[in-house]
C-alpha cells in the first residue's frame, strides 16, 4: 500500500472532525474520510487499520456503525474470504433518504407531545410547537426536493438542472 500524503490524512481528519461534531465517533468519520479518497475504493479492514493507524477492532466497530445507514457497504471479491469496505455508489442518497423518511414519524411524535401538553401554558408548549412546525414544513417540502435530486442524479453526465 502506498503511504497516504499528509494532505490526504489532513483531509481525512477534517472529515472525521466534521462528523464528530455531529456526534459520530472520530474513527467512523476517519473511515468515511479515507473511503472517500482511497485508491482502490474498496479497502479491507487491515488496509483501513494500517492507513488510519488504529486497531482492527476499531475498524470493525466503525464499519458496523456505518453500514446500516447504507453509506458504507461491505463487498466480497470472488475467491476471497476477506471483506472490503467502500462508500456505496448511492450511499449518500440512501443515508439521507433514510433520515428524511423518519420526518413524518418524528412529526407524529411531537403531536403526541403537544396533545399531552394540551392544558399547559403556551410558553411550555412553545419549544415543542416550533419543532412540530419545522417537521411539518420538512415533511411537505422534502418530497419535491428529493424528486428534483433524483431527476438530476439520473440525468446523463453533463446534463443537470443547473442550466435551467
Q: What are phi and psi of 4, to 5 degrees?
A: -70, 150
- All 3 cell numbers of residue 72? 458504507
- What is d(CA 71, CA 125) in angstroms, rounded to the nearest whole number? 36
Residue corresponding to grid cell 442550466: 163
Residue pLDDT, tens place only, 74-92: 999 888 889 999 999 888 8
pTM equals 0.77
Distance, in Å, from the CA atom of 52 to the CA atom of 28, rounded to the nearest integer, reads 11
Q: What is the pLDDT of residues 14-52, one digit of tens each?
A: 999 999 999 999 999 999 999 999 999 999 999 999 999
CB atoms closer than 10 angstroms to residue 29: 23
Contact 125/113 with Cβ under 8 angstroms? no
Q: pLDDT at residue 101 above 90?
A: no
Amino acid at each position: 500500500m502506498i503511504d497516504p500524503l499528509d494532505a490526504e490524512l489532513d483531509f481525512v481528519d477534517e472529515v472525521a472532525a466534521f462528523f464528530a461534531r455531529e456526534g459520530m465517533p472520530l474513527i467512523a468519520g476517519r473511515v468515511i474520510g479515507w473511503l472517500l479518497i482511497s485508491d482502490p475504493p474498496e479497502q479491507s479492514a487491515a488496509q483501513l487499520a494500517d492507513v488510519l493507524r488504529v486497531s482492527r477492532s476499531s475498524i470493525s466497530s466503525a464499519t458496523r456503525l456505518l453500514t446500516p445507514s447504507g453509506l458504507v457497504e461491505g463487498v466480497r471479491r470472488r475467491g476471497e474470504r476477506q471483506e472490503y469496505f467502500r462508500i456505496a455508489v448511492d450511499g449518500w442518497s440512501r443515508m439521507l433518504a433514510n433520515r428524511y423518511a423518519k420526518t413524518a414519524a418524528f412529526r407524529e411524535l411531537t403531536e403526541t407531545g403537544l396533545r399531552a401538553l394540551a392544558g399547559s401554558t403556551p410558553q411550555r408548549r412553545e419549544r415543542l410547537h416550533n419543532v412540530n412546525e419545522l417537521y411539518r414544513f420538512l415533511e411537505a417540502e422534502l418530497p419535491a426536493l428529493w424528486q428534483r435530486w433524483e431527476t438530476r442524479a439520473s440525468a446523463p453526465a453533463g446534463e443537470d438542472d443547473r442550466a435551467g
